[in-house]
Chain A
Amino acid sequence: MAAPVEPKAAGGAALDQIAIATGGAAVLTAALLLGGWAHRTGRTQVLATAAASFERAKPTRGLPGWVGLPTYAAMVSLITALLGMYWDISLHISQGRDEGPLANIAHYPILIGLFGIFASGVLAMVLPLGREKPGPAAIRITEDWYAPVGGVLLAGAGFYALLGFPLDDAWHRVFGQDVTLWGPTHLMLIGGAGLSLVALAVLDREGRLARQGSTGQTSGRQYLYRGMMMGGFLIGLSVFQAEWDFGVPQFRMVHQPYLIAAAAACALVVARLWVGRYGALFAVGFYLLVRGGVAVVVGPALGELFATVPFYLGEAVIIELLAVVLARRVLAFGVVAGVLVGTVGYAVQYAWSQVAFPLPWTPDMLAEGLLSALLGGVAGGLAGALTVLGLWGRLPRPAVSRSLLATSLVLVAIAVGNALVYTVPQGANAQVTLGPVRDGAAESLTVRMDPMSTVDQPTWFTVTAWQGGDLHVDRLVPTGDGSWRTTEPVPVSGDWKTLLRVHEGRAMGGVEIYLPADPALDASLVPADPSFTRPVIPEHEILQRELKPGVPVWLFTVGSIVVLGLTLALVLSLAWGVGRTARCGPDPVRGLEDEDADRQVAQA
């Protein structure tokens, strides 16, 4: 590699950072390996003492230390990773790509958080000592070392997420940097963290099985502890929506309804049944606290962008009400909850999107969005019901469970597959006229589409400017004579990347308004002339200029299949783990019956 031409590329500072990060990595590796070895050979009592203190601490009191300590460590790690993730996305939206994994400060909390999840799993595997197995489902490591299934799954989920880093790097090398959350390897980074909550729930069950029900944990503490876990699960399943939270989705709008419905139905069905009465409301409360807190920290506190949240309270109320009549028939409850979340919940989210989201839902996507939400809701509700039955040790026989899980996955695949199909308006042009330019921003923009039918009833029709230090999403308003205009000044100078975005039905496209020269990419300046006519082109050519041209399609397909295979492996491992622990008999303290739930809520 020769000397860089750009001072910002990779200079001495990067070497310092590499040294620090490598040093930190070495210490972490040594700590995990030596600590685990010393603990298992009786050379240190530090881990045992720490774990024992968690047996006495609220709210995990009574659960074995190999449940309490790793669960706390994982929860802290998850929140750290979540904060880093939203901070990172916000930085990318307002600043653009970064010059390497260490050049962006927000990558550190992500790294620490994901490694923390992995380390928590390893801790849960290493902690249980002696020939006594950590629960009847434990996995044999050696003759005198058994690891809880939940620990193995937690480490696996963390490992899958961390695997995203080298794969992401390889991906950028082959395809160029994809400045979108929905790059396959980016989805690994966030998906592994989100799904690790299932591993924590399995670990909780194993702890109870190991204590054969005599945990001494009051039902109020159990309520609090499980409620937080399910709030975390809702956050984890919601991270895939982040592009919509900020208002810069690079995929069709009909993705958002099924993402919201699947997350709500799955997490809240588990929350209502596994936590107890009002568990779904509790989980949404925890969600709002943590996810809202992260939005406030990243937005007003760190001065970055604010990420909106969906209105999950609607779904929570639906599920709480449904449980009054159907809680005892779990599978039916899951499916009906999914249908209601996909219809009534969809209507509530539709209204909420009008006031809260930068890009509100529109009549254009109303019908397809409903189908999308229904698919997502039923898939999520079914998966949630299976999870609850597994955690209760009451799964139907394997053939039934497997076909239901497969049904859920197929429904998700249909929703995703349909929403991914899009077209680019052919032969469409935009005639753009700029108002007076002051301080690098045009006071207004007037746009006329040719043909005008391109924006008959658009899902979105915006002027979007990003990566110039901030984000502008300006929805155009019709002027009455067939033209559209902006509502606020449009930045057309400096580092800003400004474009017109059109989305109607399956059609999506963009029109270049202003793009800076980018020598690193061999891209030249696209000036914002006082008036111009430019064609509608595929958006990723503007939004993701970093993508390398001429990479064969099959290579992209192979890359995507590898990532998809890894993801299926993680999902099926989690399902296997839930099944393995489920077959060890009913939950000894499946005690949260509705009769005494009110008291537990009061205690919590």
Chain B
Amino acid sequence: MSSVVILADHSIIDTAPFFLPAFLVVAVLVAVVVRDRRRQRREEAEDAADAADARDDEGDRAA
């Protein structure tokens, strides 16, 4: 019976149009958020480094 496609069955491709658009849109949104959070963290790290540098400079001047 292996050469028989049973009736109560169908290809996975059939359902793709039902969910792929939503999945793609969600993927794009998630990518945007992740990139933003990464940039936010990097900027915070840079700000912290700048602040530390500024403190070092002040320390140098004081010395």
Contacts and interface: CB of A to CB of B under 8 A. Distances in A.
Contacts of A21: 17-18
A168 B16 CA distance: 12
Interface stretch (B2-10, B45-53, B54-62): B2-10
A14 B11 CA distance: 10
A450 B21 CA distance: 56
Given A2-B3, A141-B29, A173-B9, A118 B14 contact: no
| Interface SS of B by simple majority | helix
A5 B7 CA distance: 9
B5 A4 contact: yes
A176 B18 CA distance: 20
Size bracket of the A interface: 35 or more
A485 B15 CA distance: 45
A112 to B, nearest CB: 11
Interface in A496-551: 518, 520-521, 546
A521 B6 contact: yes
Size bracket of the B interface: 20 to 34
A172 interface: yes
A100 B32 contact: no
B24 interface: yes
B6 A169 contact: no
| Interface SS of A by simple majority | helix
Contact of B22 (A8, A118, A518): A118
A271 interface: no
B34 to A, nearest CB: 11
Most chain-A Cβ atoms within 10 A of its Cβ — which of B9, B17, B28?
B17
Contacts of B10: 10, 14, 99-101, 103, 169
Interface in A175-213: 176-177
Contacts of B13: 18
B25 interface: yes
B16 A25 contact: yes
A176 B6 CA distance: 11
Interface of A: 1-6, 8-10, 14, 18, 21-22, 24-26, 28-29, 32-33, 97, 99-103, 111, 115, 118, 122, 125, 140-143, 155, 158-159, 162-163, 165-166, 168-169, 172-173, 176-177, 518, 520-521, 546
Given A99-B10, A176-B8, A520-B8, 20 more contacts: A4-B4, A14-B10, A25-B18, A101-B14, A101-B18, A102-B14, A115-B21, A140-B36, A141-B33, A141-B36, A162-B22, A165-B18, A166-B15, A166-B19, A169-B14, A172-B8, A172-B9, A177-B8, A518-B7, A546-B8
25 contacts: A5-B5, A9-B5, A10-B5, A14-B10, A18-B14, A25-B18, A26-B21, A28-B21, A29-B21, A33-B25, A97-B8, A115-B22, A118-B22, A141-B32, A141-B33, A142-B33, A143-B36, A158-B22, A162-B18, A165-B19, A166-B18, A172-B8, A172-B9, A518-B7, A520-B7
